[in-house]
Structure 1
Amino acid sequence: MSENMAALTPRTPCIVSAVRTPLGAFQGALSSYTAMELGAFAIRGALERAGVRPEDVDEVIFGNVISANLGQAPATQAALGAGLPPSTPCTLVNKVCSSGLKAVMLAAQAIMAGSADVIVAGGMESMSNAPHYLPGARKGLRLGDGSVVDGLVKDGLWDPYGNIHMGSCAEMCADRFAVGRQQQVGPGGWGPRCGWLGVGSWGVGGWN
């Protein structure tokens, strides 16, 4: 293979560390932390476990859905909170519930393309800190009542096309494609199967 052809060969990205915070209940023990603080905890932990220095990270790509009231550049805030240098490029991704996974996909593609060697990718969210909105307040509520809109539902849990809750969308899809509860979470279902595949991969060194 010529040097030019070798340069065009995609590289294989590897996950060298994976860290997450505990699952917190709505308005529970973690509700005092912002999404960026939670993201910073995960970034710092992942780097420490992998033995990667913060200055060696080429880019940070993080997913987030409810970005209202987080301030400018939430991904950068999380990276700086984890001790990464201000020169680190950071990108925020919003693909609703797939935001974190899309961030990982973009990171893998960048590594395969050779534009980066070390990327921190993941997602961060704090549903407990989602704000409420007051539509019309900027123009002035001159006469009559105003309505407060729940940002959590508006930006995170509501289908703007069918004007229904995302939980209802899931039920409709399950009915349309005949996907029963047992197929999802029962023995041999997708949920348990994905878990066992991950455990099996770990056991044979697939995560090394």
Structure 2
Amino acid sequence: MPESVVVSLARTPFVPFGGALKDVPATELGAHAIRTALGRVHIDPATIDYVFMGQVVQAGSGQIPSRQASMGAGMPETVPSDTINKVCASSLRAVNIADMAIRAGEIHSAVAGGMESMSQAPYLIEGARYGLRMGDGVLVDSVVRDGLWCSFGQCHMGVYGSEVAKEFNISRQAQDEWAYRSHMRAIQAIDKGIFAEEIEPFMVQGRHGERTVIEHDLGPRRDTTLEKISSLRPVFVEDGTVTAGNAPGLTDGASALVIMERQKAKELGLEALATIVSSGYVSREPKYLHTVPAYAAHMALARAGIDRSELKRIEINEAFAAVTLTSIKVGEFNPDIVNVNGGAVALGHPIGASGGRILMTLIREIQRIGGGYGVATICSGGGQGEATLIRVD
């Protein structure tokens, strides 16, 4: 069976909602990531067989955003694309779909990742198409409706953040401490240039023609303290434990990885940064987003015959600090090897792009420590989880 390898990766800086990237469409962010990932290894775009890009909040983005991003990156018109929506798992699912297509012999190469501009998401006016008539109309935030709202429980995902944390005895203090760790680890990583291997700076032009180059993620807070985080009031649930401090902020950004059949990479003289060993995907009751990253990771491990003790590093997306802590508990993972360079609580969570980000962070980190196995795993709305197990030789 053919084997998939990652030969290149790139992402934009992650920038908080309403910040420096607020005027940049998701498709432009995606094009930037794709163009950079191909350019870093001097790949002719025509050698790519398929593009898989995730995007969650697609309202107003135009037809087939993945196609816009791929052609915006200079891909030929002959390269087809799919736009993937598995909520927060979209870009990791894109990677796993690319891997499955390569293993099946359908394709030999792909670009996979995701993009999101939460800042550009429009408001929706329900009922306006056929006339609002008498009375008030209601504006619906598409970020919340399409990205953060549980269609089954009819509540914000943050409600589950507190409810399930309580069920698994994840305290407010533990969540705040993890959030503080996330910020401090992310700041250390930025200062050491660790994310520089992932990020391609992005230039934005102001209203008066001034140009600003964004070189790193803008979410991590140098001035935060555990005391500040602990002083914040709960959101979503009055007596809950999820706060603005231990949850990730809305964010804009994109990620892309170039994935090839190993033989194809050899023919092109490309180094394999990592081998995709296996994947895992699970579904549970929609409220249990906290547990599915652990279950998906264990599925990927079981498929490969790898024990969790063999993992050198683990990336668990910090949908909330409580999600990561619950998955560590359920999965019986060593917390010392989880999110060692910080996570989404600090870096931000552009929901369509985060899965690609945690995978590339994992690959680069395992390279730095000399190789081995690692797993990237993420939850998504509806109670689904997605994981990718990789090996760096």
- Matched ranges for 1:182-201 at <5 A: 182=178, 184=325, 188=336, 190-192=338-340, 199-201=365-367
Match of 2:9 in 1: 18
Match of 1:90 in 2: 81
Distance 1:80 1:173 in 2: 42
Distance 2:24 2:155 in 1: 30
Distance 2:94 2:14 in 1: 20
From 107, 112, 126, give the equivalent of 2:103: 112
| Letter of the structure 1 residue corresponding to residue 340 of structure 2 | P
Distance 1:198 1:175 in 2: 34
Higher strand share: 2
User: CA separation of 1:170/1:64 partners in 2, compared to 1, >3 Å: closer, same or farther?
Assistant: same
Distance 2:86 2:135 in 1: 37
Count how many residue pairs are aligned between Structure 1 and Structure 2.
Answer: 199
Match of 2:120 in 1: 129
Per-residue deviation, 1:162: 1.2
Distance 2:101 2:41 in 1: 20
Per-residue deviation, 1:202: 4.3
Match of 1:41 in 2: 32
Higher helix share: 1
Contact 2:52–2:66 at 8 Å: present in 1 too? yes
| Letter of the structure 2 residue corresponding to residue 125 of structure 1 | E
Contact 2:52–2:95 at 8 Å: present in 1 too? yes
Gaps of 5+ in 1: 1-9
- Normalised by the size of structure 2, how large is the TM-score? 0.47
- Report Cα offsets for 1:126-173 as digits up to 9, x if no partner: 000000000001111111111111111111111121121112222223
User: CA separation of 1:174/1:197 partners in 2, compared to 1, >3 Å: closer, same or farther?
Assistant: farther
User: CA separation of 1:188/1:161 partners in 2, compared to 1, >3 Å: closer, same or farther?
Assistant: same
Distance 2:338 2:28 in 1: 32
Contact 1:26–1:127 at 8 Å: present in 2 too? yes
Match of 2:370 in 1: 204
* SS state at 2:129 partner: coil
Contact 2:363–2:392 at 8 Å: present in 1 too? no
Per-residue deviation, 1:41: 0.1
Match of 2:53 in 1: 62
User: CA separation of 1:190/1:124 partners in 2, compared to 1, >3 Å: closer, same or farther?
Assistant: same
Per-residue deviation, 1:196: 7.5
Match of 2:145 in 1: 154
Contact 2:366–2:392 at 8 Å: present in 1 too? no
Distance 1:11 1:176 in 2: 43
Q: What is the RMSD computed on CA atoms of the aligned residues?
A: 2.4
User: CA separation of 1:109/1:128 partners in 2, compared to 1, >3 Å: closer, same or farther?
Assistant: same
* SS state at 2:340 partner: helix
Gaps of 5+ in 2: 179-323, 329-333, 342-357, 372-390
Distance 2:71 2:362 in 1: 35
Distance 2:42 2:4 in 1: 17
Contact 1:15–1:207 at 8 Å: present in 2 too? no
Contact 1:36–1:78 at 8 Å: present in 2 too? yes
- Normalised by the size of structure 1, how large is the TM-score? 0.87
User: CA separation of 1:26/1:114 partners in 2, compared to 1, >3 Å: closer, same or farther?
Assistant: same
Per-residue deviation, 1:189: 6.5
From 160, 165, 171, give the equivalent of 2:162: 171
Q: Which has the higher contact order (CA 8 A, sep 6+)?
A: 2
Distance 2:151 2:367 in 1: 39
User: CA separation of 1:187/1:115 partners in 2, compared to 1, >3 Å: closer, same or farther?
Assistant: closer
| Letter of the structure 2 residue corresponding to residue 27 of structure 1 | G
Per-residue deviation, 1:174: 2.4
| Letter of the structure 1 residue corresponding to residue 151 of structure 2 | P
Match of 1:3 in 2: none
